[in-house]
Amino acid sequence: DIQMTQSPSSLSVSVGDRVTITCRASQSISSFLNWYQQKPGKAPTLLIYAASNMQSGVPSRFSGSGSATDFTLTISSLQPEDFATYYCQQSYSPPYTFGQGTKLEIK
């Protein structure tokens, strides 16, 4: 199985901060990497697919980059509604695996 490792596991941030979350794959996955946002008690929602493509309706402050084994999710200016947990997920080969999540907390 391809292991997905996110860092950090949690992050204390303030509204307006620029946030970068890293996801590393245990082997090259080309650009087959997706990012999801999950709020407490809710299902994950898709933010970014294929490493850098923004899902329709996602605010432009979210962006994704990377290829092969190293990927980043960036939030350019954190808004109150962005406090959530973020997950990366590889779709290169089954079993499709997720990172352990990065929780954004209010500083």
Residues that bind other proteins (CB under 8 A): 31-32, 34, 36, 42-46, 49-50, 55, 87, 89, 91, 94-101
CB of residue 88 to other proteins, shortest distance in Å: 10
In this complex, which beta carbon is closest to other proteins, that of residue 15 or of residue 50? 50
Taking the complex as a whole, how short is the minimal distance between the CB of residue 52 and other proteins, in angstroms?
Answer: 11
- Provide φ and ψ at 94, rounded to 5°: -75, 150
Q: How far apart are CA 105 and CA 78, in angstroms?
A: 11
Minimum distance from residue 32 beta carbon to other proteins (Å): 6
Asked if residues 54 and 105 have their Cβ atoms less than 8 Å apart, the reply is no
CB of 2 or CB of 78, closer to other proteins: 2
Nearer to other proteins, 72 or 91 (CB): 91
**Contact 28/45 with Cβ under 8 angstroms?**
no
Nearer of residues 44 and 66 to other proteins, judged by Cβ: 44
From residue 96, how far is each of 14, 28, 33, 55, 104 by CA, in Å? Answer: 33, 14, 10, 19, 24
Q: Is 57 exposed, middle or buried (0-12, 13-18, 19+ CB in 10 A)?
A: exposed
**At closest approach, how far in Å is the CB of 44 from other proteins?**
6
